[in-house]
Amino acid sequence: MDILLLGTGSADGWPSPFCRCDSCATMRERCEMRTPTSVLVDGRLWIDPGPEAARQALRAGVDLVDVDTVLISHAHSDHLDPAFLLHRSWVSDGPLTVYGPAPAIALCRDWLAPDQNAVRLVEVTAGDSLAVGEYRITVVPAAHEALGEAVLYRLDSDRSLLHGCDTGPWAAGALDAIGSERLDVVLLEQTFGDRLDLAGERHLGLATFEQSVAALRAAGVVDDATRVVAVHLSHHNSPDVEQQLAALGAEVGRDGQRLRARDV
């Protein structure tokens, strides 16, 4: 399994273009930029096609020509820009299947020609299990809300990945849905850092990130060989977040970073 982090930032990215806080200033000085979180798996399975994802792919030196499956976690605009369906239709009529909760799929419909037959839209809900090519995909409930349901995804093929973005502390039933089989890679949102006043029930900060990973360890699905990678990072984090997360046994995701699960 080859996992390419197209973007690893929150909706407004890090640094925010509208902010001169110390965190944003430091990231600018370091020429370090994170754009909205999006992931490409094995060059063909795309998770969360947000507004910058197509250019993210090009900056990472790849294209999206071979993508035949899209997984959408929820309908918020940083995770879904359905215009990609129109842009793709201008150059390709190859088969594509898009999976997502009902509010996200509803947004996609307006971007497809009525007579097209290349793109298939499939509504999913927490608890569903899908067989997609060589992948077994489990739909996990998220502690989030986006015009309705938001979900997370577990992917299993030769290796296993949990895409945990966006979510607050684990929703009821989430750990059961994730199951008991070990995970090779966990991508878990960490939006609010030390800002306990902001990290609530729909996003994670450092404390709730630590608690969420501890719950996965207690369930036996995360061990010392699992790569736990923080994504959806915002300027509410300290520039020292890399050291803070390392102390928790986790790492910081970077735009354009490639994670090869078989190497862990």
The most distant pair of C-alpha atoms in the chain lies apart, rounded to whole Å, by 54
Report d(CA 143, CA 112) in Å as an integer: 30
CATH classification at residue 86: 3.60.15.10
User: Residues 158-199: pLDDT tens digits?
Assistant: 999 999 999 999 999 999 999 999 999 999 999 999 987 877
- Report how far Cα 256 is from the mean position of its chain's Cα atoms: 14
Q: Which residue has the tokens 């995909």?
A: 137
**Total number of domains constituting the chain:** 1
| DSSP secondary structure code for residue 241 in this structure | H
Report d(CA 1, CA 63) in Å as an integer: 17
Q: How far lies 111's CA from each of 88, 153, 210, in Å?
A: 11, 24, 39
Q: Please provide the average confidence, as pLDDT, over all residues in the chain.
A: 96
pTM assigned to the model:
0.96
End-to-end CA distance of the chain: 11
Residue 86: count of CB within 10 angstroms of its CB: 12
Contact 20, 42 (CB under 8 A): no
Secondary structure of 73-107 in the HEC alphabet? CCCCCCCCCCHHHHHHHCCCCCCEEEEECHHHHHH
CA-nearest of 63, 29, 24, 25 to 236 is: 24
* pLDDT by position in tens, the chain (length 264): 999 999 999 999 999 999 999 999 999 999 999 999 999 999 999 999 999 999 999 999 999 999 999 999 999 999 999 999 999 999 999 999 999 999 999 999 999 999 999 999 999 999 999 999 999 999 999 999 999 999 999 999 999 999 999 999 999 999 999 999 999 999 999 999 998 787 778 999 999 999 999 999 999 999 999 999 999 999 999 999 999 999 999 999 999 999 976 554
Residue 87, domain extent: 2-263
* β-strand partners of 9: 36, 233
